[in-house]
């Protein structure tokens, strides 16, 4: 139960960055001060993959996935994936 409260406290409110979308970027989201930005793009290396790129301050990482799955996400599902991957990444960095 304490872990659930801790995760809720770490939740990030992400909004759409419409100006980032286009030119290979399907979705773009950010937090209020834009210190966290997530984008969904077509992979440059593999035509059947897409990448979720996440920037958290100076820390950048990406998550690759199958295009048939990621290309069908709604904007809300994408924002949720960015948030969950960011929280996991932060947790792993602390260990």
Give how many domains the chain has, as a whole number.
Answer: 1
Query: Which pLDDT score is estimated for 44?
Result: 85
What are the tokens at 7?
Answer: 């995760």
Query: Which pLDDT score is estimated for 43?
Result: 87
Any domain includes 32? yes
> What three-state secondary structure class fits 65?
strand
CA distance to 6, 11, 12, 18, 29, per residue, from 1 (Å) = 9, 16, 19, 37, 29
What percent of the chain shows pLDDT beyond 90? 78
- Judged against a pLDDT cut of 80, whether residue 11 lies above it is answered with no
Any domain includes 53? yes
65-93: pLDDT as tens digits: 999 999 999 999 999 999 999 999 999 98
Query: Which pLDDT score is estimated for 13?
Result: 87
Any domain includes 75? yes
13-48: pLDDT as tens digits: 899 999 999 989 999 999 999 999 999 999 888 999
Any domain includes 6? no
Query: Which pLDDT score is estimated for 10?
Result: 56
Q: Which domain holds residue 56?
A: 12-94
Any domain includes 2? no
Any domain includes 52? yes
Query: Which pLDDT score is estimated for 95?
Result: 76
What does pTM read for this prediction? 0.84
Any domain includes 1? no
Query: Which pLDDT score is estimated for 84?
Result: 94
Any domain includes 87? yes
Could you tell me the sign of the dihedral formed by the alpha carbons of 75, 64, 11, 27, in that order? Answer: negative
């Amino acid at each position: 139960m304490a872990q659930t409260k801790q995760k809720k406290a770490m939740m990030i409110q992400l909004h759409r960055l419409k100006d980032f979308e286009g030119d290979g970027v399907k979705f773009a989201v950010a937090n209020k001060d834009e210190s966290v930005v997530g984008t969904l793009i077509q992979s440059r290396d593999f035509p059947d993959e897409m990448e979720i790129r996440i920037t958290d301050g100076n820390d950048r990482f990406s998550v690759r996935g199958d295009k048939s799955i990621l290309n069908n996400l709604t904007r809300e599902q994408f924002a949720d994936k960015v948030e969950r991957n960011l929280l996991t990444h932060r947790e792993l960095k602390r260990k």
